[in-house]
Amino acid sequence: LLINLKFSVGEYILTISKKLFFLSIKKITLTINEVILLKELIQNFKEVVSAVIPIAILILLIGLTIVPFSGEMIFSLIVGCIFMIFGMTLFLFGANISMMPVGKAVGNYVVQKRSLPILVFVGFIVGVVITIAEPDVQVLANQVASVSNGEVSKTVLIAAVSIGVGIFVVIGFLR
């Protein structure tokens, strides 16, 4: 089912891109699934723009008033923001059409089993794995290891934080 879903989503994206960018058709007709995917892509774009633009404006204002930026720096900021908007939009779109359905399926399965041990175990594992994969935790671990001159191991810190998050997820489930 998941393999078929991935191929069908890929086919829809390819079809939409052909219809929108490569073919010169006077009237573009989209299927219902293509419209749904296009609406989701547009919604992701709006969310990313609303998150990035205010920060970019603030940085630009600081660059124009307090800390003077060169023209090259301002150009780099604008180009970087454009790349960031499109990259984050595609990332969120990909996550929404690939990972979210899998997460919902796993969540539905665990809840339907009505088994507290399975729920607690899955919650703990998900909490640990997601924390290990979190880039901010990796950055924090690198900084702590650097500041402590290796006294605090990156691996130990990541393991401690991940297990702690897993335990708190379990406590949340048990509540």
Express each pLDDT in 90-99 by its tens digit: 999 988 888 8
Answer whether residue 58 shows pLDDT above 50. Answer: yes
Residue 4's pLDDT band (boundaries 50, 70, 90)?
A: very low
User: Are 14 and 6 spatial neighbours (Cβ–Cβ below 8 Å)?
Assistant: no
Share of the chain above pLDDT 70, in %: 83
d(CA 65, CA 58): 11
pLDDT score at 118: 86
CA angle 68, 69, 73 (to 5 degrees): 175
Task: Label residue 17 exposed, middle or buried (CB < 10 Å: 0-12, 13-18, 19+).
Answer: exposed
pLDDT score at 110: 81
9 compared with 99, residue with greater pLDDT: 99
CA trace torsion 9, 10, 16, 20 (10° rounding)? 150
Answer whether residue 101 shows pLDDT above 90. Answer: no
Residues 6+ apart with CB under 8 A from 81: 52, 53, 56
User: Are 152 and 144 spatial neighbours (Cβ–Cβ below 8 Å)?
Assistant: yes
The model carries a pTM of 0.60
Q: Mean pLDDT over residues 134-163, rounded?
A: 91
